[in-house]
Amino acid sequence: MVGRVRTALFASLVVCGVAIASATPSYASESGPPGAARLTLPAPTGPYPVGTVDLHLIDRARANPWTATPPYRELMVSLWYPAGDVRRFPLAPHMAPGAAAHFGSADGAGSQLYDIPPGSVDFAATRTSGHRGAPVARHERPFPVVLYSPGAGDPRTWETTVVQDLASRGYLVVTIDHPFDASEVEFPGGRVVDSLLQQLFQQAQQPSDFQALATKIFDARIGDTRFVLDQLAALNRGANPDAEGRPLPAGLDGALDLRRTGMFGVSAGGLTALQAMADDSRIRAAADLGGNIESPLIPDTARLWPVAGHGLSRPFMLMGDLSTDHHQTPSWKLLWDNSKGWHVDLHLVGANGENSYKDLVPLIPQIARQLGLPDSFVTQAVGSIDLSRAVHTEETFVAAFFDRWLRGCGGQVLDGPSPRYPDVTFVP
């Protein structure tokens, strides 16, 4: 997985979206400038207002793969959907309060992964365009469903810009947190579960240890994905799978067209999406944004990501950077050569691995501007992409991919280079 981790803890390995590389210079300071920065997310571009609701899901049939307590696997997911009347429903935060506090602390992913000065950003103040609990929009046909899985070490909220844009275009999008893998997960009542990945990578000594840990990460993620698909089917039948039985938005039952289900993810989430599609016929199309498994410490990458060796018969999209494509990246080449279904490989000009496809793109320039950080702070984080166009371009191509393969319409931008999108390179 392409990326960078900015702590000395991680050294010379890139696994599962957790970049383990030599430490880079940090702009973080203990005190930071006076007054925390406050951020805004880009507004969705589709015709629908957006609703959202969080669900606490418990899989009592599956043991917790990471800790003895709780003994079962539990998840937090968010549903983002086309909404009807949103006037009485407040905007949901980008991150729940406890998760936001952890993310922005000295030990959190904001500082550890992205060099954001600890305590310098009020992450809890950022609002999305999703209205919490708003009713589902009236519809003649149920909405296609898209699942989202984040990079290892990232929370499910770190791709909200693209997620809420898809919802505004008429998709029901489900974002999945993978507890003990994600930087933090906040459950009902304010309980926050921290990531174990740094600790576990520290403990790994031999290539076999890293292979086993990476396999465990992927196995948990695939299990999470399949469980979420099961719960969506129950939800669509009118059941309430939320562990606390909290009220669901009006009109949600029957609003999901699970025969038209896709999945995408960033980094390890993208790898998860492609492997989950190979393993589960319910997923009809999948996109990988920046995820590959190349690492000198993983002795058997084919075993870790078997979809590459088997190939895919269903459509998939790869989005990388100048050094990550199906010619240069062995896992992508293997997948490309073995796949009989439709597929495309492209990237944003100036992309810096996985980070160029996250909420980091609209947020990191705001952080730099408000905190007085140098331009190099932005380029180290997201590369040299055109910041005025990158978000819209990513939204356009992700939506075009799912429009083509879940709706059977549109998607012409995927046919090849266009002067309308000069920042997109199609890899032949």
Burial class from Cβ neighbours inside 10 Å (0-12, 13-18, 19+) for residue 107 reads middle
Report the range of poorest mean pLDDT among 19-23, 114-118, 256-260, 346-350: 19-23
Pairing, β 343-348 against β 424-426: antiparallel
Residue 1, token pair as written in the block: 């997985």
Token pair for residue 227? 């469980």
pLDDT at position 34 is 53
Cα 388 from Cα 374, distance rounded (Å): 18
Task: Report pLDDT digits (tens) over 203-214.
Answer: 998 999 999 999
Does residue 1 surpass a pLDDT of 50? no
- Number of Cβ within 10 Å of residue 176's Cβ equals 24
- Determine contact, residues 47/57, Cβ cutoff 8 Å: no
Q: Region 360-377: what's the mean pLDDT?
A: 97
| Residue 339 pLDDT | 98
Q: Are 291 and 178 contacting, i.e. CB atoms less than 8 angstroms apart?
A: no
Q: Is 77 helix (H, G, I), strand (E, B) or coil?
A: strand
The amino acid at 157 = T
Predicted local confidence at residue 22, as pLDDT? 26
Lowest average pLDDT, out of 30-44, 306-320, 359-373, goes to 30-44
Structure tokens at 25: 């210079």
421 CB-contact burial (10 Å; exposed 0-12 / middle 13-18 / buried 19+): middle
Peptide linkage before 374 cis (omega within 30 of 0): no
pTM: 0.92
d(CA 146, CA 162): 12
Q: Could you tell me the CA-to-CA distances from 219 to 226, 252, 271, 288, 290 in Å, in that order? A: 11, 30, 12, 17, 20
Phi and psi, residue 282, nearest 5°:
-70, -20
What's the confidence (pLDDT) of residue 18?
Answer: 35
**What tens digit of pLDDT does each residue of 85-142 get?**
999 999 999 999 999 999 999 999 999 889 999 999 999 999 999 999 999 999 999 9
CA–CA separation, 27 and 117 (whole Å): 7
Q: Report which residue type is found at 281.
A: S
Angle between helices 360-371 and 390-402 (to 10 degrees): 170
HSE, CB side, 13 Å, CA atoms: give it for residue 308: 22
SS3 276: helix
Q: In the block, which residue shows the tokens 């380029």? A: 379
Both structure tokens of 204: 């790994």
Q: Which two tokens stand for residue 60?
A: 């009592």
The pLDDT > 70 percentage for the chain reads: 92
- Indicate the residue type of 168: S
Q: Please measure the distance between the N-terminal and C-terminal CA atoms of the chain and give it in whole angstroms.
A: 22
Its sign, for the CA torsion 395, 358, 126, 387, is negative
CA distances from 138 to 2, 52, 54, 82, 84 (A): 41, 15, 21, 9, 7
Residues 323, 335: Cα–Cα separation, whole Å:
17
How far, in Å, CA of 338 to CA of 322, rounded? 23
**Class of the domain covering 13-426:** alpha beta
Mean pLDDT of 392-415: 96
The two three-digit tokens of residue 233, written as one number: 């089917």
Cα 101 from Cα 68, distance rounded (Å): 26
